[in-house]
Amino acid sequence: MAENGEPLSLPKRQLGYYLRQARDEAGLTLAQAAAYVGRSAPTLMRIEKGLTQKLSLPEIEAFCRLYQFDQEKIEAMKGLAQQADTKNWWHEYDDLIPADFDIYVGLETAAQTIVTYQPELAPGLLQTPDYARALSRSSLPDAPEAEIERHVQLKMRRQLLITRKAHPAGLQLIIHEAALRRVVGSGKVMSFQVRHLADISIRANIEVRVVPFAAGIPLGDQVGAFVMLQFAAAKNTVVYVETFTGDLYLEKPASVRRYADAYGAVQTAALDAAASRATLRQVAKEHAR
């Protein structure tokens, strides 16, 4: 859940961001703008934060008239409102996805850049099918094979975000050496997985760096895995932290800054891209023995 306890929807967040920006530029108060469209000031505040259930087309048009948007901006606003009510591809997997994780998949799909620190495991966006399958079997020992395969398919579908030809999202991964050496599945599975990390890091939009054991504990062991999702349109960052009892979404500037500082610390401790790639290839060879 978000820090304010509300679920996140990126189209609503973007819509709210543009409305807030336009209101500020017009020099209008919440009360003045809300009165124009027949809403209360508290309701408009929720709209601008992306927390409303739904905005009607007449309301969108009223905002556009108030802020004197050109036709291109009007169509963009209508499109965002429509997206907020549209089912997306990951809803095919609703029966597999935990309650809050569908929010993450939606945010991930819309992100321009994904920045992540992973001290224990390879991230889902870079897992090989066999590695993902081994993890699913471990966490769902009683699940039928068909269900396991759907979990794997979901991860592979998510990976199109960074491997597609047109405008792939950027991915910056810092992974601890412990995650490379912990055996998931088998030595063969690990060899392919670690080699995959090395191979995919050649892509222009993907960076993989390794924190070696020799670097010690750069964060004093205070921070576990986390993801920072950066969005171009909304010009903001959401931090995602998965915990044993649920998911946490952080977007307050102070919270985001703490995680950005943490990422900076592990980045300083990590090997550079070339040395990381060499380490990955060496560890892959060791697993293959």
CA 235 to chain centre: 14
Q: Mean pLDDT, to the nearest integer, of 235-264?
A: 86
Share of the chain above pLDDT 70, in %: 89
Give one DSSP letter per residue of the chain, joined into a string. -BTTSPPP-HHHHHHHHHHHHHHHHHT--HHHHHHHHT--HHHHHHHHTT--S---HHHHHHHHHHHT--HHHHHHHHHHHHHTTS--GGGGGTTTS-TTHHHHHHHHHH-SEEEEEESSS--GGG--HHHHHHHHHHH-TTS-HHHHHHHHHHHHHHTHHHH-SSSPPEEEEEEEHHHHHS-SS-HHHHHHHHHHHHHHTTSTTEEEEEE-GGG--TTTT----EEEEEETTTTEEEEEEEETTEEEEE-SHHHHHHHHHHHHHHHHHS--HHHHHHHHHHHHHHHH-
Q: Mean pLDDT, to the nearest integer, of 154-166?
A: 95
Q: Mean pLDDT, to the nearest integer, of 248-263?
A: 91
The token duo for 20 is 């807030």
Question: What is the spatial distance between Cα 260 and Cα 93, in angstroms, rounded to a whole number?
Answer: 31
The token duo for 171 is 């991915």
Using 50, 70 and 90 to split pLDDT, how confident is the model at 55? confident
What is the reported pLDDT for 93? Answer: 78
Share of the chain above pLDDT 90, in %: 57
pTM for the model stands at: 0.76
Report the range out of 109-118, 169-178, 230-239 with the highest average pLDDT: 169-178
Question: What is the spatial distance between Cα 154 and Cα 159, in angstroms, rounded to a whole number?
Answer: 9
What residue ranges define each of the domains in the chain, with the CATH number in brackets? 10-85 (1.10.260.40), 91-287 (3.30.870)
User: What value does the mean pLDDT of the chain take?
Assistant: 88
Question: What is the spatial distance between Cα 48 and Cα 274, in angstroms, rounded to a whole number?
Answer: 44
Using 50, 70 and 90 to split pLDDT, how confident is the model at 7? very low
Q: Mean pLDDT, to the nearest integer, of 223-231?
A: 91
Burial (CB < 10 A; 0-12, 13-18, 19+), residue 244, is: exposed
